[in-house]
């Protein structure tokens, strides 16, 4: 098993891989919000405090990374002309049984996230493993059927999994998604408004705008 903190255009993320599959992609808490710039017209969500962040996977930043840059300092994520934003590895935690399959899966996940944030990738192919109840699994399967640049309501997903009255339960399943972004819980919205999201509504809006612009 390998767990790695990466910096992305939407902030710190924790990637976890085990047995050659991604098992976790979480928004990391405990770091100061930072201004971020990129080599394209896309920048990360605003540095103002995020709203609507009660849902979705999250973790806490390791003690050694808790400070972040000093106030007002920018983190440049440029990777050269036309390549777009970057996903930058910062901190790795490996268990004794971390192996080549895990390292390859981690490298593939970082490469695909990098391409996604640059607008060059619509569908992830990195292997994942999701652990949850039968209902959660059915919801997560339905989420992966929502195309890049599309959105569905919680009620739409409830109907798709054969439980038309379970929109609230669908929202709870979205909140429990262990692999954010790759399992696109950000593409599920409320009947009126964005709904919730673990990375905050600014991040959810930014992801949807990113996908809309590159679809």
Instruction: Verify whether residue 148 is a known catalytic residue.
Output: no
To 10 degrees, the CA torsion angle through 95, 96, 100, 102? -20
- Output the CA–CA distances (angstroms, integers) from residue 212 to 110, 139, 187, 201, in the order listed: 22, 23, 11, 16
185/174 Cα distance (integer angstroms): 6
Q: Identify the residue whose tokens are 């935690």.
A: 93
Q: Which of 76, 148, 174, 185 is catalytic?
A: 185
DSSP β-ladder status, 35-37 and 74-76: parallel
Nearest by Cα to 117 from 81, 58, 77, 60 = 77
Catalytic positions, written as ranges? 185
């Amino acid at each position: 098993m390998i767990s790695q903190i990466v910096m992305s255009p939407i902030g710190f993320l924790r990637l976890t891989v085990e047995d050659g599959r991604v098992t976790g992609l979480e928004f990391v808490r405990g770091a100061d919000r930072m201004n971020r710039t990129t080599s394209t017209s896309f920048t990360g969500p605003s540095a103002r405090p995020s709203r609507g962040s009660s849902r979705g996977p999250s973790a806490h930043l390791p003690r050694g990374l808790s400070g972040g840059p000093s106030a007002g300092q920018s983190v440049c994520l440029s990777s050269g002309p036309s390549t777009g934003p970057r996903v930058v590895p910062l901190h790795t935690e490996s268990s004794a049984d971390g192996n080549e399959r895990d390292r390859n899966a981690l490298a593939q996940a970082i490469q695909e996230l990098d391409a996604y944030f640059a607008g060059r990738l619509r569908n992830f192919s990195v292997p994942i493993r999701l652990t949850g109840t039968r209902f959660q699994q059915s919801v997560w399967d339905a989420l992966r059927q929502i195309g890049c640049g599309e959105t569905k309501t919680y009620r739409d997903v409830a109907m798709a999994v054969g439980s038309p009255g379970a929109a609230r339960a669908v929202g709870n399943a979205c909140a429990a998604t262990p692999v954010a972004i790759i399992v696109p819980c950000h593409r599920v919205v409320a009947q009126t408004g964005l709904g919730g999201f673990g990375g905050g509504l600014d991040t959810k809006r930014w992801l949807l705008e990113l996908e809309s612009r590159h679809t």
